[in-house]
Structure 1
């Protein structure tokens, strides 16, 4: 099946690449991957902050740190948790206030492209 994989767009390809890489890493380092996954699952569980708020924070950190795979992944997480395009872009605006031009460039390119790609993939 992997041989026939044809990404729908850049965002789809990035998520696929991340999942494939994570699978390979998990095979080679199962205990470390297990503990990392447990930790991140605990961090993203509903608490005082809801899951949408946590995804918006994660997206902001991803944009600030220029981590393209995390930007794609957490843009999807925001959408999956019901964040609107306006909420996502507002979170990116706050990030740009701290991260300057580098953060803004990710917000106006990759984040907006991901939002568009995810909308297209839903239809």
Structure 2
């Protein structure tokens, strides 16, 4: 977990392109589902990114944590909002979620904040 958040996302992007080449139907279905989930409706996209972040912390997905920190910031979330959403994940996930918040999310915030 000592990887640079930008490197983590670059590696994921490369592997997603490879997966798209090798499993195009799976990739297309995932992209379609993912895009549908993040369409603005009653919830603004910023809040959907914060929900995604909390779930990724609970699920312990380093890739997703980095993506959702970056996207939440891009959608206008503040550092404080991100930490508050992360606190909900910690309330559900306990020590493992807290460790991921400290080790991954804080590093991603530092890397992606402008």
TM-score by length of 1: 0.88
Query: How far 1:81 sits from its partner (Å)?
Result: 0.7
Residue ranges of structure 2 left out of the alignment (5+ in a row): none
Matched residue count: 112
Partner of 1:5: none
The whole-number CA distance in structure 1 between the counterparts of 2:10 and 2:63 is 10
* 3-state SS of 2:15 partner: helix
Partner of 1:41: 35
Query: How far 1:32 sits from its partner (Å)?
Result: 1.4
Please point out which of 12, 21, 24 is paired with 1:18: 12
Cα RMSD (Å): 1.0
Listed one character per residue, the Cα deviations across residues 72-106 of structure 1 (whole Å, up to 9, x for unaligned) are 11111111111000000000111101100111111
Query: How far 1:26 sits from its partner (Å)?
Result: 0.2
Partner of 1:92: 86
TM superposition outliers: structure 1 runs of 4+ over 4 Å = none
TM-score by length of 2: 0.94
Partner of 2:100: 106
